[in-house]
Structure 1
Amino acid sequence: MSSQSTVRDFARYLKPPVYALAACLSLMATQVSAMNFSASPAEATSIAREAYLYGFPVVEMYKTLYAQAVDQGGKDFKAPFNDIGNTAMVFSPKDSAFVTPNSDTPYSFLWMDLRAEPLVLTLPAIEDGRYYSTQLIDLYTQNFAYLGSRTTGNKGGNFLIVGPGWQGEKPAGIEAVIPSESEIAYGLNRTQLFDEKDLPRVKEIQRGYIVQPLSQFLGQPAPPLSAAIDWPAPVANMSDSPELFNYLNFMLAFAEPQPGETALRERFKKIGIEPGLPYATGQLSAEQRKALEEGIAAGKAEFEQFKKEQVDTHKISSGDLFGSREHLKNNYLYRYAGANMGIFGNSAEEADYIGYFVDNQGRPLDGSRQRYTLHFDKNALPPANAFWSLTMYDGKSKLLVDNPLDRYLINSRMLPDLKRDADGGVTLYLQPQPPAGDLQNNWLPAPDGPFYGVLRIYMPKPELADGQWKMPLLTPVAP
C-alpha cells in the first residue's frame, strides 16, 4: 500500500466524536441540569461501590497524567502530550507522582493523545544482556501491549500506536500496528541501570526513544488538530469521595464503551456517571451524598478484606492483578487492587511482583517494633531471565524510604558484594538500624514504622509460574 493512500486512510481516522468533545467541558462547571440521579439510596450505595472499584484506577491514572503531562510548573512534570520525558536517574523518596515506584530502571514517560492520528514509537537497538521495555497502558490502567527485550527483542524498530476505530494498514517501515481501546494512553519505558557509572549509557539509550505523528514519519501533511482539552485540576479527595465521579466522567469520554460493560454502564447512569458529563456533587442531596459515601466505604472495605485474605497470604499474585482486559476478564476488584498497591505494574509475563506485607507469623511489618531477615538458600535465588530486585517502601506514603545510604533496594547485580552465609545462601536484613559486624552490604534500610517490600522478578523463569520456586518469608529477629 502506498504512503499516500495510508495518509488518506488515517486522515479519515475518527474526527473527535461527540462524547469526546463533551470532555472538553470543565467538570467544575456549574451547569449540571444534564446529570441523572434516579437511584434510590440503597441502590445508589450498591452502584457507588461498583463504580468506585471500577473508577478508582482511572482516576489514579488521571492524577499521574495531570502531574506528568499537564502541570508544567509542577515538580513531577515530564513532557507534554506526544513527547517523551526521560528521567536519567533512579527514583528517590522525593518522587511522588505514583506509589510503589521502581528504582532499578530509569523511566521514560510518554502520554499519548491518539485522537487526531496514530503515533510512531521508535526504540533503539541495544546490547544483549541489558533489559528494556515499553509498557503500553490504556486509561483503565490495563496493559494492552509490550515492546522490548521479552517481546520484540533488543533490535529496536518502529511501532505504530493507534487509537480506537483507526482503519489504516501498516505502513512501510513499521514493525507492528498496536491498537489501544482508549484515545488517551500511556507509554512507560524502563531501561535497566547497572550502577552509577552506567548512567551515561542509559541516557544514550533514552535519547534513542523517539515518538512522532504518523504524518511526520511518512513526510505527509498532518490531519486537522483535535479539539483542545480543558484538563480539570486535581483536588485533595478526588480518589476517596464522590469527587471521584467527576474525574471518572471526564476520562470515560476518551474511551468507547466495551460490549461486555453495557449493563454496568447503564447502572452507572442511575447515579450520574456518564462519559463527558459534569458530575454535580454540589447538587447532591444529603441523602444522596451519604449513599455514595457508604458505597465508597463498602468498596474500600471489600478491598481491605481481599488484601488481607488473598494478597497478604500470597493466594493471589501480582500476575493476577495486572494485565490486559482479556487477562483481567473485567475483574474490577483485581484492577483496583493493582492500582491501589502499585499502579502501572507489569503483566505476569514481563515481571512478577511478590509483596512482603506481613512476616512469617502473618503480622504486619513494622520497623519500630521488630527487625527482620529474608534468607535465600544457595540454589534458590529468585528465578529471573533478566534480573531481580527487592525494594523497600514506607507503609504510610507507599514511597521509597529515605536513609543515610540512599539505598532503596538490593538486586541481583549486587550479589558479588553481598556477604554469603556459611551454607552459601544469602541473608538480607530489613531494619531501621544497620546490622552488626560486616553485614552492612546486606542491609536494606527500613523506616521506623510500618513498611512493605516488593520483590520484582523481571522476565521470570518457568519455575516461578509452575510453583517449583518457593518464596522465602520474612522472619522476625529476636531483640
Structure 2
Amino acid sequence: MGYRFRYAVLLALVAPIPLNCSTALAAEQFEDRLLTTPATPEVIASGLEIDGYHLGISAYAWGYPLVRMERVVRDYTDVSGKVPATSYRGPLNQFGLATELATPSAKDMPTANNDTFYMSAVVALDQPYVLSAPDTADRYYVIDVFNMWQELEHYIGRRATGTKAGRFVIVPPGWKGDVPSDAIRLDVTTDKVWLWGRLRVAQGEPVEPLLALQKQFTLKPLDGKSGIKELPPLPSIAGDELGFLKHLGFALKDNAIKPADQALFAQFARMGLTKDGFDETKLSPEMRTGVIRAMADGPAMVVSSFASTSEVRNGWTWVTGLDSFGFNYPMRALVAGAYLGGNGEKEAMYPVRYTDADNQVLSGGNKYVLKMDEAPPVDAFWSLTMYNADDKMLVENPIQRYKVGTDTQGLKTAADGSMTIAIQNEKPQDAGVNWLPAPKGDFYLILRLYQPRDVVLDGTYKMPEVTRLK
C-alpha cells in the first residue's frame, strides 16, 4: 500500500494541469516595443543619432587612456624649450629628473605630490631595455611601469623589489631571447611604456646627495645600440569636433587591442573607427550628431564613475583596484586623466577630500580643523596636501607650505600623540596647531599613505574628520 500511495502522489504532482481547469494559470503577456516600432524615416534618423551617441560614449571611456598616454609621452619627451627644475621631461629612452619638489608653478602634472623627486622615462621598445637602479640604503623609491593603456604592469622599488642595487629588463611583446642572468625580466604588453618614478625627499635635508643618487638610475638598450630617436607627431585636430576619435584612430595603429576588448571594439566600426584609424565619412549626418554630443558628455560620464566605484570612509573618497581595472573603463579613464600615474593601493593610497563633516564644499572662506589621534599607519611615510579645486595645482601661500606630513619641520604633536591641523587661508592664532594654508577659493585635500599597512587597506583605520569651525 505504501508503494502504491507514493506512486499515486507522484503522478498527481507531475500530471499536466488541464487548460480548462478553473485553477489554470494564464500566461503573462510582456510588452515588446521592438515588435511595434515602425521603420519609418523618423524612427531610423532618431535611432542613428542614439546609436552614434552610445558608440561615442563607449569609445571615449574605453579609448581615453590610450589617447591621453600618446599625448603625454610626446609632451614628456619634448625638451625643445627650457625645462624647469620641477619638471621630469627627458629625451626618448632616457630618464628625465626633477631636481626640485613640485610647487604651484609645476604645471606638468595635476595633483603633483610635494614629497618626492619625480623621474620619468618614455621608452620605445624596439628591443628590450635595461633599467639599472642603485642601492638607495632603504630610502623610499618606486618606479611604476605603465603600458600605453595607463595600466600598471610592474613595480620596481622599496616595497616590491627592495632597495639594493638591481637590473631590470623591460621586454616588449613578442620578443624572443634571453636576458642577463643577473637581471629581472619584466614583460610588458605594449611597444611603448612609461616609467614613472618617485624618490623620497625629506623636508630640509641636503639635496646634493639625492641628485647624485638620481643620476644612477639609467636606461640602456639590451644590445647597447641606440634605438628609436623620436616619436612621430600626432595629427593636428585644432577646432575639430571629432578630434579625439582621430587621435584614438591614430593611436590604435600602433597599439594592440586586448583579446577581451575585441568584441567591444568591433562595434565601433559602425561609426568608422577601426584598427586602420577613424574614417568620419562613414558617419551619417544623424550619427555624426550623436557622436559629437557624446564627445561633449564623455568627460562627465567618466568623472561620475567616482560615485559607482569609489569608497567613502568618514567623508574621504578613495578608489581601489588601480592595479587591475578589469572592464571598468570609465574608472581607468578617470585615473588616466586627473590622477595620471597613480599607484595601486598596496604601494600608496590617495584618499581625497572635497567636503567637510557637514558635506559642504571645502572653501578658503571657512576655517577647518583636522585632528589625527595618531600618525597614519604606514610603512613608509604620509602627507596631507592642499590643492586648488579649479586647476588641481598646489596652493601658493606665504610660508610655502603645501603639505603637512611625516617630515614637516616643527610638526606639533600633543602629549597623547595626537596632531591638530588647522586648514584655513589666514594664519591661525593658536600656536599649538599645524597650519596648512588654504586658498581663498574652493580646494580639496589628498592624504597620501605610502606603503599603507593592512589596517588601512582593510578599512579598520579610521580616517580623520574635517570639521568646519563655527
Consecutive unaligned residues of structure 1, counting only runs of 5 or more, are: 1-38, 217-221
Cα distance change on mapping 1:124 and 1:336 into 2, 3 Å: same
Q: Say which SS state the counterpart of residue 205 (structure 2) adopts.
A: helix
Q: Say which SS state the counterpart of residue 186 (structure 1) adopts.
A: strand
Aligned to 1:122: 132
1:60 to 51, 61, 68: 68
Cα distance change on mapping 1:237 and 1:460 into 2, 3 Å: farther
C-alpha distance after superposition, 1:332-375 (max 9, x if no partner): 1221222233111001111011111111122221213x221111
Asked whether 1:386 is paired with 2:380, we answer yes
Alignment check: 8 A CA contact 1:338 1:345 kept: yes
1:305 offset after TM fit, Å? 3.6
Asked whether 1:351 is paired with 2:348, we answer yes
Rounded to whole Å, the distance in 2 between the matches of 1:303 and 1:103 is 27
- Greater displacement, 290-299 / 243-252: 290-299
Cα distance change on mapping 1:303 and 1:365 into 2, 3 Å: farther
- Which gives a bigger RCO, structure 1 or 2 (Cα 8 Å, sep 6+)? 1
Amino acid at match of 1:249: G
1:162 to 152, 160, 171: 171
Aligned to 2:250: 250
Asked whether 1:373 is paired with 2:369, we answer yes
Cα distance change on mapping 1:446 and 1:321 into 2, 3 Å: farther
- When Rg is computed on C-alpha atoms for both structures, the one with the higher figure is 2
C-alpha distance after superposition, 1:250-272 (max 9, x if no partner): 22233211110011110122222
Aligned to 2:101: 90
Alignment check: 8 A CA contact 1:311 1:317 kept: yes
1:273 offset after TM fit, Å? 2.4
Aligned to 2:334: 337
Rounded to whole Å, the distance in 1 between the matches of 2:283 and 2:106 is 36
Aligned to 2:301: 302
Rounded to whole Å, the distance in 1 between the matches of 2:422 and 2:316 is 26
1:165 offset after TM fit, Å? 1.1
Aligned to 1:322: 322
1:140 offset after TM fit, Å? 1.0
- Greater displacement, 158-167 / 330-339: 330-339
Asked whether 1:444 is paired with 2:436, we answer yes
Asked whether 1:399 is paired with 2:408, we answer no
Amino acid at match of 1:140: W
- Greater displacement, 307-316 / 353-362: 307-316
Consecutive unaligned residues of structure 2, counting only runs of 5 or more, are: 1-46
Q: Identity percentage over the alignment? A: 29
Rounded to whole Å, the distance in 1 between the matches of 2:316 and 2:439 is 26
1:181 offset after TM fit, Å? 1.0
C-alpha distance after superposition, 1:224-279 (max 9, x if no partner): x66964212776789xx532112222222332111100111101222222345255
Show the 5 A alignment for 1:236-247. Answer: 242-247=242-247
Alignment check: 8 A CA contact 1:321 1:338 kept: no
1:316 offset after TM fit, Å? 9.5
Q: Say which SS state the counterpart of residue 356 (structure 2) adopts.
A: coil
Show the 5 A alignment for 1:90-109. Answer: 90-109=101-120
Aligned to 1:205: 213
Alignment check: 8 A CA contact 2:143 2:196 kept: yes
Rounded to whole Å, the distance in 1 between the matches of 2:211 and 2:220 is 20
C-alpha distance after superposition, 1:63-94 (max 9, x if no partner): 32222113622656711110111111101111
Cα distance change on mapping 1:227 and 1:103 into 2, 3 Å: closer
CA RMSD of the aligned region, Å?
2.6
Alignment check: 8 A CA contact 2:116 2:200 kept: yes
TM-score by length of 1: 0.81
Amino acid at match of 1:450: D
TM-score by length of 2: 0.82
Asked whether 1:427 is paired with 2:429, we answer no
Rounded to whole Å, the distance in 2 between the matches of 1:235 and 1:374 is 46
Alignment check: 8 A CA contact 2:88 2:98 kept: no
Rounded to whole Å, the distance in 2 between the matches of 1:166 and 1:319 is 34
